[in-house]
Structure 1
């Protein structure tokens, strides 16, 4: 870890609005209704200006994040592994990038809130069955709370939209632009936007499912439990964003999620997400709050108050996950079931942290994550053999160097 102290790292999280809010809203008219924000039509020059400002903001925050991480050997090794991993997967990822930027099915960067990076992408099916609105999946990507980005969900959005499901991928502030409470605030605001406005885009607001992967699974699970606590008791100290009825969600799918932060702290420290940095991300009112921000702890605290407050829950985890061990999902599942919540935990032999979201769809064959989501949303099993997007030798090489 670099010589930065915990105090210095926390100081970076105390100014998220000052650093990003003004820049990202330049040229965008303010409205009382967030639903009206997306209606402003931008000229090509305005679009280019917005993209340039967002790229500059991300670049500046990346430099700041790197200064917090330092040049420890773990990060250097992981960086080279990641470069090799991305290189082997490049032929498939180029296809995904082309789809993301040029497909008419993708609507990018709809504004859902007033904070920096409050944007979402929509992946729309090509047709509508009997004129009915599409079922909706709200997806929150991972990224170790530091490098998450909405476009990471492009491959999943593409696959699910092919089955008649409308997908909304949320972006949210990352550290050091904000801490975990800020991120959860963004997630709550994004879900609220979907529930109130998705009908304008052909989605069914009464048929919405929530899905999060890794850090996104943590944030979405925490948001869902915070909304349940607010509904059950009328108060939740973690809630600082929009409130919505958690029973309006038809289901929650958590993929490789980090649910027991206090237990994971030492494991993540050994993996390179250093203890002091992790405590700064998981802070509440300036103090480390790993227990209070753990969904497993929140579920145990609520106990039987959760009964009837939460939708059905499905947790998916690979047994070869090096980033977040699968016991995280097992413990969370036990806490939910003990509180009367219907929860199933599926463990996959030989699967890594990224297999369900990236590797499986690219190498072809069975896509376990897509099948699980379709089964929950459409209430029918899907066993579709996917066409490979990369040669098998590249898929094997990527798996061998995968840092996750």
Structure 2
């Protein structure tokens, strides 16, 4: 018990001190490896950034699949930082694909969306080779990655490039995603979206009704980085208005970084985000393989 308390004393301040979507090696170091096997560094394109890792649940075949895009203002991020996310979902019986994608300044809007769609299409074509069920496919993202997930689920253009449609998805999951953020004020984000000439079609809120993929939208009530009212609540209301099934939750006292940090075992007491995601996947896929409590 003393060892566990010591780890928590280290891990909690460490995450609190991190900026949103920063490297999370502290949490990875506290992540057990017994619940998954990892197929690493798989190419879904020719660029060095077009790589992904697959977390396969131990002893499970034909599992539902979540493709995860991390955040980082479309300027930073690495799939190795999110081992704790792959473990969290794999431990609950979900095959998890953690994707790297090209970042600004290498690309601008819409290069990172093309990569997101390419990775999803690759997953649908190949995930059965890695123990996943191609017909129980979800896309999830945190922060900037939540934007990527929203766009490939709501705007059919991106998947059409690869011969697919958003209807191939059982659902999409947004964790503190920015869905309506013009005019852009963040100096680090402006180049990625060609500000001040940001295209209106870059905003997920402008694609409501184009595709009708069910959604789970989660946010922290204390998020000072991405306004949960303007983004999560507003998008949910607009989707419901056109008949798209949407589930939402806002977690009181939870900030931007903790929305993804709470997937890590030492931090799950902060908010039941993982439980909420797993329940949604279980409900939408009809899977019965994810009954273990997320806090274990």
User: Is TM more than 0.5 here?
Assistant: yes
Q: Conserved in 2, the CA contact under 8 Å of 1:141 and 1:152?
A: no
Q: 1:360/1:112 Cα in 2 relative to 1: closer, same or farther (>3 Å)?
A: closer
Aligned counterpart for 2:167 among listed residues 236, 242, 247: 247
Partner of 1:332: 235
- Quote the Cα distance in structure 2 between the aligned partners of 1:90 and 1:118: 22
Q: Conserved in 2, the CA contact under 8 Å of 1:142 and 1:213?
A: yes
Secondary structure, aligned partner of 1:378: helix
Q: Deviations over 1:117-153 (max 9, x none)?
A: 110010011102xxx5111111111111111222233
Query: Given the two structures, how large is their TM-score scaled by the length of structure 2?
Result: 0.82
Is residue 322 from structure 1 mapped to residue 224 from structure 2 by the alignment?
yes
- Quote the Cα distance in structure 1 between the aligned partners of 2:170 and 2:217: 15
Relative to its length, the structure with more helix (as a share) is: 1
Secondary structure, aligned partner of 1:190: helix
Partner of 1:189: 118
Relative to its length, the structure with more strand (as a share) is: 2
Secondary structure, aligned partner of 1:262: coil
Query: How many residues of Structure 1 are paired with residues of Structure 2 in the alignment?
Result: 273
Q: Conserved in 2, the CA contact under 8 Å of 1:279 and 1:290?
A: no
Secondary structure, aligned partner of 1:384: coil
Q: Conserved in 2, the CA contact under 8 Å of 1:211 and 1:220?
A: yes
RMSD: 2.9
- Quote the Cα distance in structure 1 between the aligned partners of 2:247 and 2:270: 20
The one of the two structures with greater contact order (alpha-carbon pairs below 8 A, sep at least 6) is: 2
Partner of 1:38: none
Q: Deviations over 1:260-317 (max 9, x none)?
A: 0215x2xxx3xxx31xx4332113xx97225321101222xxx4xx4xx422101000
Query: Given the two structures, how large is their TM-score scaled by the length of structure 1?
Result: 0.61
**Higher gyration radius (CA):** 1
Structure 1 residue 90, shift from structure 2 partner = 6.4
Q: Conserved in 1, the CA contact under 8 Å of 2:221 and 2:250?
A: yes
Tell me, which stretches of 5 or more residues in structure 2 are unaligned?
A: 1-16
Aligned counterpart for 2:261 among listed residues 352, 358, 366: 358
Structure 1 residue 220, shift from structure 2 partner = 1.6
Q: 1:239/1:278 Cα in 2 relative to 1: closer, same or farther (>3 Å)?
A: farther
- Quote the Cα distance in structure 2 between the aligned partners of 1:310 and 1:342: 8
For residues 132-143 of structure 1, what are the structure 2 equivalents within 5 Å?
132-143=61-72
